[in-house]
Chains A and B, each alone.
Chain A
């Protein structure tokens, strides 16, 4: 079916509210998953690097298992298996949980790599002035690690935005689902998929630029 530009713009105008709402859900889901996943991921990275043998083994099993599982499977498991086990989560909550868990395993690995790359002399110098480990982490390791993980972390954040499209499978009204609903009503598949793609690109483009801005701002002068 051929549509004129006027028809497309007209339908886009009519569908503006559900699409903006869908975009809002996508951004909220991705943002929550990134924040929760990153906080959890820092804990995972710490455990992988400085944990006792048992803790290291447990977190290693966790990251390997999660990273080896497709996000779609995690999303479905989080909704259906938790539901069957008596933990009733809304599709949105279940989706965010799955994304956050997935994000945490990736961030955990990134943080481990960054922490292990910090010279041991930094920890020794911090110890030598009497800092406790939590203080060393807060004032020495974390600021150095953050600078190292930033580029890869931005990448993971963008992946989370893209992975959030999978939440439409369990009925979360995200940007993709909102677009599909408009398409099923108007049959304008190409223009609306293209428009959705453009919005995803814009969000990720913004994340990437924000990442580069933070990278520039936190660069250590030398």
Chain B
């Protein structure tokens, strides 16, 4: 049996007195596509952000590719790893954000090349070739020299996904990547993600697109008040929710 790419154990996150994550356990294998659904404030995004240490977490462990992320136990004391080490570990995952967050002063190609050249120490020519390959994959090769401000929201998000994936992460994290898009631009982004899923990319997605979650995921996690409320096969969960809370949530969600 293949070992886990991601392993989360007893993950807790507190913001002051408020506990946002109350003990999450979760594992993913190579090629898994897991969608995290749930209402606002249930902790979906926070969990995703803990995985690449955009948020520190209070308790528990996150392991990616057999490496403890963010913290280590030394002489029985839990310590945050050095910023340099955390930066290195962040490159194990790729992340696409709700607001795209492309660097506005760089062209599409330069956005993708930055990490390859500066983090992976790749030669510029090689990085350029990889950037073009991925821009082609997301259907934007002819826009390679455009700046983010010259691209539509959907195009920006596709470049942002290409930028993350070009780094060959072990795991891709998608944080509500279609929430900021006009409805007619959602599909072009979802198609790119579906395409990646077909190719066996390991992905963890926070999404409000229920039909997409239903179609693309190998497993769905329903989060409720900082805990995993229900988890399983998408068909099972969407058609026969076991908990009342999930049934309620699905009833209030649009399924299109």
Please indicate the chain B residues that have their CB under 8 angstroms from the CB of A221 in the complex: 147, 149-150
Looking at A97-105, A130-138, A189-197, the stretch in contact with chain B turns out to be: A130-138
B104 and A130 contact, CB distance less than 8 A: no
Of B54, B118, B150, most buried by chain A (CB within 10 Å of CB) is: B118
Contacting A at CB under 8 A, from B83-104, are 83-84, 87-88, 90-91, 93-95, 97, 99, 101-104
Please indicate the chain B residues that have their CB under 8 angstroms from the CB of A147 in the complex: 105
Nearest-CB residue, chain A, relative to B167: A129
Nearest-CB residue, chain A, relative to B146: A221
B97 and A129 contact, CB distance less than 8 A: no
**Interface size, chain B (Cβ < 8 Å):** 30
Please indicate the chain B residues that have their CB under 8 angstroms from the CB of A220 in the complex: 104-105, 147, 149
Looking at A2-10, A84-92, A119-127, the stretch in contact with chain B turns out to be: A119-127
Please indicate the chain B residues that have their CB under 8 angstroms from the CB of A126 in the complex: 103
B220 at the interface (CB under 8 A from A): no
Contact of B115 among A119, A121, A124, A131 (CB under 8 A): A131
B12 at the interface (CB under 8 A from A): no
A130 and B167 contact, CB distance less than 8 A: yes
B54 and A127 contact, CB distance less than 8 A: yes
Contact of B94 among A122, A128, A133, A143 (CB under 8 A): A128
Nearest-CB residue, chain A, relative to B114: A139
- Closest chain-A Cβ to B124's Cβ sits at a distance in Å of 14
The 4 nearest A-B residue pairs measured at CB: A222-B149, A130-B91, A129-B115, A125-B101
Chain B interface residues toward A at CB < 8 A:
52-54, 83-84, 87-88, 90-91, 93-95, 97, 99, 101-105, 114-115, 118-119, 147, 149-150, 160, 163-164, 167
